A = this chain, B = another copy of it.
Amino acid sequence: MSKPSHLAPKVRATLTDVAAHAGVSVGTASKALSGTGRMRPETRQRVLDAVRALDFRPNQQAQSLHSGRSWTVGLMTTDGIGRFSTPVLLGAEDALGAGKISVLLCDTRGDAIREQHHLRNLMDRRVDGIIVTGRRTDPRPPLSGIHDGVPVVYALSPSMDPEDISVVSDDAQGCRLAIEHLLAIGRSRIAHVTGPGHHAAAQDRARYTRTLLDEASLELSTGRVHFGDWSEAWGRRAAEAVLRAAPDTDAFFCGNDQIARGVTDTLRERAVRVPEEIAVVGYDNWDTMALAARPPLTTIDVDLTEIGRVAALRLLAAIDENPQPGGVQVPCRLVVRESA
């Protein structure tokens, strides 16, 4: 069986081919392409015409040696490529691709030895910069072993060093959107069910929630935050506990969509009408979870793609020697569906 014609090998034109086609020396062709050296405009035009005719593309490796830039950026995820890092990667890849920069993917899986291995490799490949991302919003130690002049941007998981460039979600504003929405629809007995207390995401959202209720002269319906884990099973159990402790609860604000979905499942089984009797707001806007819930979840979209995009733009600015150090907070959006 013969291979179809679209798989036929293409022979790449070389600079020698271009020079021969234009009737000039290789040296002249090279100068015409780099814009250096003196020559008649017609000569330069003949070379450029030959480049087009032969679809000549200069070897990027050779170009890199010349320009000192590799037009390559490292994208390092610290804890696997999962639901959180994927949209960040996509946003970054999108912004970088538009600038014709290639992305070298490294996954360190939270392992310090893997991180050092990847980092040495990225340095050896002379990347122009690095974006670091991870699932957790807890601040992480800055990368060590970066060569001078190679900028690093931290996305979603900020650096512990406040002088580093870190692009994160604005959790304070996200919580404000959620609580203000619940207050606007007349709720005043609000419970907060969230993930593990040792995760910054859970701790921060709980603190903001308390502060916002305090501003409205309200308290949590059960008098405390319900820390647990990020699962539906925890949401189901916590809903039972909240209804036992504070039967007059009229809203749940949950630390993520899985918890919120678990809460709605418990309410559904107890024949509590959502949102008429009890409203539920999630966090993340993970569509698979939010749309499959009954009813579909009102939730806070943390705009992970935008975090990736902003991180890439900051990195490009830093590569162009226009760094804007410090933290950037990307705003959240309230997505209103049926649960609140």
Residues of A at the B interface (CB closer than 8 Å) are 1, 3-4, 6-7, 9-12, 57, 59-62, 64-65, 70, 72, 75, 80-82, 86, 89-90, 93-94, 97, 100, 102-107, 114, 117-118, 120-121, 123-126, 142, 144-149, 161-163, 231-233, 258, 262, 288, 292
Contact = CB atoms under 8 A, between A and B. Distances in A.
Contact of A60 (B6, B86, B124): B124
Contacts of A80: 90
18 contacts: A3-B161, A7-B142, A11-B148, A59-B65, A60-B126, A61-B70, A61-B125, A72-B104, A80-B90, A81-B81, A81-B86, A81-B90, A97-B114, A102-B104, A102-B106, A102-B125, A105-B105, A232-B292
Contact of A75 (B105, B161, B163): B105
A148 B11 CA distance: 7
A331 to B, nearest CB: 24
A94 B57 CA distance: 32
B10 A147 contact: yes
Contacts of A123: 57
Contacts of A105: 75, 89, 93, 103-105
Given A7-B161, A163-B3, A100 B81 contact: no
A102 B97 CA distance: 18
Nearest to A164: B7
Contacts of A70: 61
A100 B339 CA distance: 49
Contact of A142 (B6, B61, B118, B232): B6
B10 A125 contact: no
Given A9-B148, A97-B117, 10 more contacts: A1-B163, A7-B142, A9-B147, A10-B146, A59-B126, A61-B61, A75-B105, A81-B81, A97-B114, A231-B292
Contact of A103 (B104, B117, B258): B104
A94 B11 CA distance: 32
Given A93-B105, A125-B102, A61 B59 contact: no
Which of A80, A121, A162 gathers the greatest number of chain B CB atoms within 10 Å? A121
A229 to B, nearest CB: 12
A75 B231 CA distance: 32
B148 A292 contact: no
A158 to B, nearest CB: 15
Which of A6, A7, A97 gathers the greatest number of chain B CB atoms within 10 Å? A7
Contacts of A90: 80-81, 107
Contacts of A126: 59-61
A274 to B, nearest CB: 15
A103 B117 CA distance: 14
Contacts of A124: 57, 59-60
A97 B1 CA distance: 35
A143 to B, nearest CB: 8
